[in-house]
Amino acid sequence: MTAYKEVANYFDTSERSVQTWVREFEENGELAADSRGRHSKIGVWPLADPVAREQWELYARTNSQPKGKQNLTAVKMVKYWQETLSPSLRKRIADGDDVCQILSLTDVPQQISTSTARNWLLKTGFTYDRNQKGEYVDGHERWDVVRDRKKYLVFKK
């Protein structure tokens, strides 16, 4: 058994991977960092900025169940992002705001989809519930229940 095979079995990988690791180490003097989960499309979450997240949550809370109006929808959150939050966040980044050090303009999309808005709402702690406007009615005084009670129960006097 070769050394490559032994190391491959130990790390549960292929001999080819081990050979690549050895070649990289010999050329660079160090192993390359693991790039899994660091795809170029995976950037920083725009709501990682505390100010942006606070504004997002505040808008969602104030518009979640206004009396006499339609409830909050993902479409409303998309509109809020595109018209208000994204432009203000992009302006803060362009002006060099200290709080926005972790974000770049490429991390802040100008538009988001409704599914992204839904995911961001869930990620910030909001849930989707069906608004039930029913009222509980205890049926012990309904006419048919009273009739059946008189018919089948004998009251002791």
Q: How many domains does the chain have?
A: 2
Residue 40 lies in a domain: no
Orientation of helix 15-28 relative to helix 3-11, angle to 10°:
110
Residue-level pLDDT at 55: 92
Range of the domain at 4: 1-32
Question: Are 67 and 91 members of one domain?
Answer: yes
pTM above 0.85, yes or no: no
Q: How far apart are CA 76 and CA 85, in angstroms?
A: 12
Question: Are 56 and 104 members of one domain?
Answer: yes
Residue 27 lies in a domain: yes
Token pair 């206004």 is found at: 66
Q: What would the pLDDT profile of 126-137 be if each residue is shown by its tens digit?
A: 887 766 666 666
Question: Are 119 and 67 members of one domain?
Answer: yes
Residue 157 lies in a domain: no
Q: What would the pLDDT profile of 79-89 be if each residue is shown by its tens digit?
A: 999 999 989 88
Question: Are 24 and 87 members of one domain?
Answer: no
Residue 144 lies in a domain: no
Backbone φ/ψ region at 29: left (φ over 0), alpha (ψ -120 to 50), beta: left
Backbone torsions φ then ψ of 148, nearest 5 degrees: -65, -35
Q: How far apart are CA 61 and CA 3, in angstroms?
A: 60
Residue 84 lies in a domain: yes
% residues pLDDT > 90 (the chain): 17
